[in-house]
A and B are shown apart, each in its own frame.
Chain A
């Protein structure tokens, strides 16, 4: 988003800077601001099962903390500056004014919200399935769909652990593990420490789709 008309004055007003390794906000703290990265990199991490897990690394032009615009919920992850970072920081209360003056930023958020809406809906669709087996399958389908580089006609490898699957599926880890083991025994998938190989993801896709259809009838 280099074309963004964010002049110097804008930075004067909303600019904040962080040093390497400084926390910008921390998971579970209340969040009222969202951020736009002017320069530098920001690591988004989350404690999962008492281990710090990298969710993503964001860079120039990216926006984060945007859920604060919508609701006063605690932060769902921690943002840490990985190098010298320059940010624009906007309070929720200024949102309307800000958007009027900066259609480019508004457009950027529009794109982000579009993605988030879909992702959230997609996750919800998994959670609304009834059988744990299907939930697990659908998690794998969702992850496969999210990676445009995968060839879904062939065997695919997903960088995901049983814990991740459990979290997406809204299952306990042992329940998710049970389902994964079952799929592995029936030779539908292969389990590794840090990845899961799915033999025929299309088959899962079809199965989940037909069950979802019949669920409503």
Chain B
């Protein structure tokens, strides 16, 4: 940690002194082979022991849990039907395009007189569906490609990696826009497919890297010398051990997927069906009322930011906890 007393003369940088750093390094070396403070603790368990005390992770986890629960129960929680237009009679295109809050409608309504709170609540569901499925499909695609490349090596590996490199050479959001523009009639599945495809090369590359590391590890060598079948080596010994970084990436990808979905909806490439509200779609529609009713944009955007932040915090602290280098 920072030693303020020794390092605050105006010129010297405030960081641990050489001695402290050397001690830390030796400590790290000494514990490098062992697992955490307690003996016999697995990587996951030791990660959990540290995560439990990490406020950043707990905040991320809390946000995620609240979001998922809300998304699941929102249809019963929302005070109004998100497609009903209870405040339609108050909408005046000239003087009052967006009705403000009033009893029974704590956030007011949108430009068509629909209850804003209900739409936000129900919108969480579409956002969750898009985020989860896009990440899931991207993960599955990456899992197949990465396992193929990492387990088989040789020309399969070269071929898969060339394809992945080309896909990575296109800016990801642009690729997602391009794929989404292929849809004849856009829906939420357009978003899911477009974002999933963009995520495939990221997962594939990551998994291949950690599979290769597994291939040259001692336990795989041991399994091979015991005569374990190649298939069993790949699926039982290599894949489960290679999944750690992929799971961390999936958590971070959820945040990216939700933000990208919002960007696609914003450009009008998402689900145009307003009977299925979604935060990105609401944000896109709110653009027109920037001067009269900016809150129409603030609420959905705030939701997107908080949820994306939740997944990011969780992913970042997971990454830190699972990184063997930080296990001191």
B is bound to A: no
A residues with CB within 8 A of B: none
